[in-house]
Structure 1
């Protein structure tokens, strides 16, 4: 099985993303969670800390979710936001790896981008090139600011979801996004910033 196949979302999945994680059919529920969200979680982790770290952390994310299933409150957050919260906390333990990866990405700016996976498409290639232009600035951000920005830009979470992930009000998320974007805009080339501005900020 290829990596693309392993993390491919299931077809015909249930649209309800607030499952009962303490029910009797845990295997089925967690298989559905993995099928629905593993690919997006891995993409987010790989963008921040590199593919090698991501492969380890995505497994850890779902293991912790299983172990802490009793703490999940569907009234507070969707399963997607909850999983991204676990992944973001794991990234904090690997902060050095993330900073190292971002700085390496910045050093590689201008080199040819190559891809070996069938699911890599032209717009994703272009986004990665733009991210290289901002990687050094991302590495220098305060951890909380970087979390907000990359949950929005790479995790594609909206302000309410990010608020649930980080346990802060959605208004604070919007404020941080505005401030960090303004800071990065001063350092970015005209094409660079859109790769981090494609997030949803609606509730």
Structure 2
């Protein structure tokens, strides 16, 4: 367990899981500083630094030190507008964020990937997430945690129709395909961040649900 105050870098703080995670971090006595770049301003907090703008442009301006980095970036093809735009966010921007976090001194990176992420998948979404995981592995992080949640359950500021339809059904599916509450995922990520270790850890949705309860 980390006993010294931690400096956190968080991407995706305005998203469904990111909002819950930010709240968790700002209420943790072991967290010294949360650096959370966003496109729109966040509520002010004594331990929060909130650069505002497009993340790609903000990355070079971010300053350390950073101990732990969380990547909660994620969109949909519909929201992004095309497969290429989706990949630019869920793969390219996430990889760039991870590289910058490492430059700022982060030792542990935790990333929200997706269930069935596989670079060889015939499903575009799963393939992009798998390619993201592969790219992050190649960065040789001292500690890399890849979280693979199933369908996220929670109230988004911008509802996703597919999730609204699938979420109730996902509660009935057993095992790792059972839906997971975004607040539980956020809590699981924080618990995983406190685990000291080395190398890569893949955490499937059923384990994330257990950790988040």
Higher helix share: 1
Greater Rg by CA: 1
Higher strand share: 2
Query: What TM-score does the superposition give when structure 1 sets the normalisation length?
Result: 0.30
Query: What TM-score does the superposition give when structure 2 sets the normalisation length?
Result: 0.29
